[in-house]
Structure 1
Amino acid sequence: MKTALQLLSISLLTIITACNGQVKKEEKEALAKQPGNVVKTAIGNITLPPPYATESKSKNSKVIGWPEGKTPKAPEGFTVTKFADGFENPRWSYIGPNNDIFVVESGTRTSKNQIIILRDKDKDGVFETREVFLKDLNRPLGMLILKDFFYIANTDGLYRYPYKNAPLKLETKGVKIVELPAGGYNNHWTRSLLANPEGTKIYIGVGSGSNVGENGMDKEIRRAAILEINPDGTDEKIYAEGLRNPMGMDWNPANKKELWTAVNERDELGDDLVPDYITSIKRGGFYGWPYSYFGNIPDPRLKGERKDLVEKAIVPDVPVGAHTASLGLAFYTKNAFPAKYKNGAFVGQHGSWNRSVISGYKVLFVPFKDGKPSGKPEDFLTGFISDTDKAEVYGRPVAVTVMNDGSLLVNDDSGNTIWKVTANK
């Protein structure tokens, strides 16, 4: 074994002569015989296999829906209930200052392109009102309320609407304050949103337009990055880049100035490459994509390009499994769950398509202590897979949202349901 700082043989990479990022069969076989890479992460050393150690397989899951009365499974001491259903692709949720719950109905192939509002008037934990809050959007995802404005991130731009007195339907006209590159590779059309604790900056997660830059890096400008703007859309900066698809974002509760994100890594290098991850984000940091992964391990399809970037690529903090489509991220800051969960992170895994055996399709918990990851990811909400061999699943978890009462909401966009996890009293 060699460490990640010892790059794959440069001589081996330089013999790769296929164009357009394609790697020939004999070259894949040679790469597969290379030793693995030992990488030091925030939760200890991991060993990554060489590229093409296994053949890249496409295995899409089949969603069969939830049988009546069946729910996902949480650890002992928790109860899982159906919080709301009857949606069409409830991809993301956001909780407003007055405890309103906003749910985006947005999809890859078909999309209702609207936001549903759920309101619990008597604050008993059960919503009584359900209305269409805003419609005629363009693949919306991230939502945010700052002062007297409601923000929605469509795939093609960030829109800002005047918002006062918590209406059930937004009748005001929105203004596009930031143009964003639309669409993207696979599900990379999503645009996530987060404000800093002071409400003076907004962060936008923008996924790549390709797997590994195969369409040309001129098509990846302002992509595979987290953008930082003022609330009025001005003063845009690249906060961090080399993040193939940064989705869920949250602030480390132990250090409100430390941004974390969940990132989908690249495809077609084999079953166990490259692990998705959650990581702290350094301003101005470069995290590898597309030239390298987990620090300076070069991607063979890029033929040793941009060694200057590869050399400075940052190793992400917590690997969470290859091809798991880790999308949701939320730190748990409430007190309703047992003490071990305080200030730890929940990760929603939408599930794989690029593994011979499906993986993901669950919610993980990553323990933290003193603001640092303190243990390996552990299963928290499972039971989404019906039959592994047949790749049949009941649903697919994505967003994870902590409610003000300390319960955890889990958006199951394929099951068209939002699940609620509560701790038993």
Structure 2
Amino acid sequence: MRKHILIVLGLLLLVGAGIVTWLAWPDTAQLPVDQVVGRQPTITAPRQQTIPTVKVAKAVGWQAGAKPSVAPGLRIEEFAGGLDHPRWLYRLPNGDVLVAETNSPPREGGGVVQKVMNVLLGRAGAGVPSANRITLLRDANGDGRVDTRTAFMTGLNSPFGMTLFEGQLYVANTDALVRVPYTEGATRITAKPELVIKLNPGGNHWARNVIPSGDGRTLFVSVGSASNIAEGGMEAEKYRANILQIWPADKNWRIYAAGLRNPNGMALNPTNGRLWTVVNERDMLGSDLAPDYLTQVEFGDHFGWPWYYWGGYPDTRVEPAYPQLQQYSKRPDYALGPHVAALGLTFANEAKLGSRFGNGVFIGEHGSWNRKPVSGYKVVYIPFGANGFPVAGAKPFDVVGGFLNADGDAQGRPVGVIIDKTGALLVADDVGNKIWRVTAR
């Protein structure tokens, strides 16, 4: 009899837990975003989710001449429009701008989860096929508007990062780093790309970035994870959630740093040449966790993914556990807030936007899907000190906003950010299909 009573009690507890879980869904943030930013963010207890909180701004585009808002003392105008999902930007030595018009490759399999993700992508404006194109934009007369637009490279495979290195243009496709010879002033490249190294494709995070390392011999390539927390097993994450170091002369490579769930933007600090990146952290721990971050990266660093976040907080969902790693998980340098989807990154040393922006970084926050209320959907600036790190106590400063309208719909979403040849800030907007140009008044 006692056994039956215990079974009934156990079932009641399970049902009660299910009801509590349902009533708590979707999870609502208990902290404002600005308490989960900076060098010492508030890290609350996780609120694990079986059913994810889904709150993504519906993509509607810019209507009737609307445009983003900017901080006082700045102005913003359209640099180029009519693009096809522009994600990443690169400035050539002559001032021409390359834009990767790109999107995720077709997502196959994944069952119900992938079907749900496809619906979310469509709502967020990311469900369109990839143009697989790099377009060249030229402002010949310096008036801040594009005069010449050409299809610079076509037939690529979800291209993202681009960089010049030793006379060749390197392009990071989703499945490979490739290169082609480059001639200054060229408006089109027809040469067949040469394979440098293969990259593991598939899964959730398709975008690969590439920048020179600064040593004159190697490149850095970022490769995001295939999943949220390696739920498909670590074999599927081989050479993923890494920054790789590439020797392009002989096509060798190594893992430079690991445990980075989805690093996208990378840049070298101009004051000391150190590598920095922005990283998208994990989902489904509640609307207050885990913070995306900005951090300096050194050889051999491990930032904990998937077992740990923010320098040693365990994610108990990950099996098998890896307790030996906890003490070696590096804490990031600066939290950007939960679920902001930090993608773009550029240092401000070449910007001519006023003294406020003399030493720091601009970050494009694409915007959340797993937080209520939403976070991100803006470009922020973080000031750095003379020591080469973010200023202690400094909070992100909003530079470009207004991407969400009064109804909470997305008129645009910022991604890549660079400084143009005049010192203006360029922002790729993959929902508005534009590039915006921010200048000082």
Q: Secondary structure at the match of 1:301?
A: coil
Which consecutive residues of structure 1, in runs of 5 or more, have no partner in the other structure?
A: 1-23
TM-score in terms of structure 2 length: 0.84
Instruction: Tell me the matched-pair count.
Output: 388
* Counterpart residue number, 2:277: 261
1:353 maps onto 2:369 in alignment: yes
Following superposition, the deviation at residue 93 of structure 1 comes to 0.7
1:298 maps onto 2:298 in alignment: no
Following superposition, the deviation at residue 146 of structure 1 comes to 1.4
TM-score in terms of structure 1 length: 0.87
* Counterpart residue number, 1:332: 348
Which consecutive residues of structure 2, in runs of 5 or more, have no partner in the other structure?
A: 1-16, 105-126
Greater displacement, 338-347 / 231-240: 231-240
* Counterpart residue number, 1:71: 67
Q: In structure 1, what is the Cα distance between the partners aligned to 2:285 and 2:278?
A: 20
* Counterpart residue number, 1:404: 421
* Counterpart residue number, 1:83: 79
Following superposition, the deviation at residue 340 of structure 1 comes to 2.4
Aligned ranges 1:45-56 → 2 under 5 Å: 45-52=40-47, 56=52
Aligned ranges 1:363-382 → 2 under 5 Å: 363-370=379-386, 371-374=388-391, 375-382=394-401
* Counterpart residue number, 2:403: 384
Identity of aligned residues (%): 41
Q: In structure 1, what is the Cα distance between the partners aligned to 2:215 and 2:240?
A: 26
Distance 1:198-1:68 versus aligned 2 partners, 3 A rule: farther
Indicate conservation of the 8 Å contact 1:178/1:233, yes or no.
no
Following superposition, the deviation at residue 121 of structure 1 comes to 2.8
Question: What root-mean-square deviation, in Å, do the aligned CA atoms of Structure 1 and Structure 2 show?
Answer: 2.3
Following superposition, the deviation at residue 45 of structure 1 comes to 2.5
Q: Secondary structure at the match of 1:422?
A: strand
Q: In structure 2, what is the Cα distance between the partners aligned to 1:409 and 1:161?
A: 25
* Counterpart residue number, 1:15: none
- Greater share of helix residues, 1 or 2? 2
Q: In structure 2, what is the Cα distance between the partners aligned to 1:331 and 1:352?
A: 23
1:220 maps onto 2:216 in alignment: no
Indicate conservation of the 8 Å contact 2:37/2:291, yes or no.
no
* Counterpart residue number, 1:138: 157
Following superposition, the deviation at residue 124 of structure 1 comes to 4.3
Distance 1:373-1:121 versus aligned 2 partners, 3 A rule: same
Following superposition, the deviation at residue 107 of structure 1 comes to 1.2
Following superposition, the deviation at residue 120 of structure 1 comes to 2.5
Please point out which of 267, 275, 289 is paired with 2:291: 275
Q: In structure 1, what is the Cα distance between the partners aligned to 2:172 and 2:226?
A: 17
* Counterpart residue number, 1:321: 337
* Counterpart residue number, 1:121: 140
Q: In structure 1, what is the Cα distance between the partners aligned to 2:130 and 2:291?
A: 29
Following superposition, the deviation at residue 82 of structure 1 comes to 0.5
Q: In structure 1, what is the Cα distance between the partners aligned to 2:371 and 2:389?
A: 30
Greater displacement, 232-241 / 356-365: 232-241
Indicate conservation of the 8 Å contact 1:140/1:191, yes or no.
yes
Following superposition, the deviation at residue 43 of structure 1 comes to 4.2
Deviation string 1:274-327 (CA, Å, 9 cap, x unpaired) is: 110111102110001000000110001025711122220011011111111110
Indicate conservation of the 8 Å contact 2:102/2:159, yes or no.
yes
* Counterpart residue number, 2:440: 423
Larger Rg: 2
Please point out which of 209, 214, 222 is paired with 1:205: 222
Indicate conservation of the 8 Å contact 1:60/1:391, yes or no.
no
* Counterpart residue number, 2:173: 154
* Counterpart residue number, 2:117: none
Q: In structure 2, what is the Cα distance between the partners aligned to 1:365 and 1:95?
A: 20
Deviation string 1:68-98 (CA, Å, 9 cap, x unpaired) is: 2211111111010011000110011100111
Q: In structure 1, what is the Cα distance between the partners aligned to 2:58 and 2:352?
A: 35
Q: In structure 1, what is the Cα distance between the partners aligned to 2:236 and 2:319?
A: 19
Following superposition, the deviation at residue 380 of structure 1 comes to 1.2
Q: In structure 2, what is the Cα distance between the partners aligned to 1:88 and 1:49?
A: 40
Indicate conservation of the 8 Å contact 1:191/1:207, yes or no.
yes
Following superposition, the deviation at residue 165 of structure 1 comes to 3.8
Which amino acid letter does the alignment assign opposite residue 163 of structure 1? Y
- Greater share of strand residues, 1 or 2? 1
Which amino acid letter does the alignment assign opposite residue 227 of structure 1? L
Q: In structure 2, what is the Cα distance between the partners aligned to 1:413 and 1:42?
A: 25
Q: In structure 1, what is the Cα distance between the partners aligned to 2:134 and 2:329?
A: 38
Indicate conservation of the 8 Å contact 2:410/2:431, yes or no.
no
Which amino acid letter does the alignment assign opposite residue 150 of structure 2? E
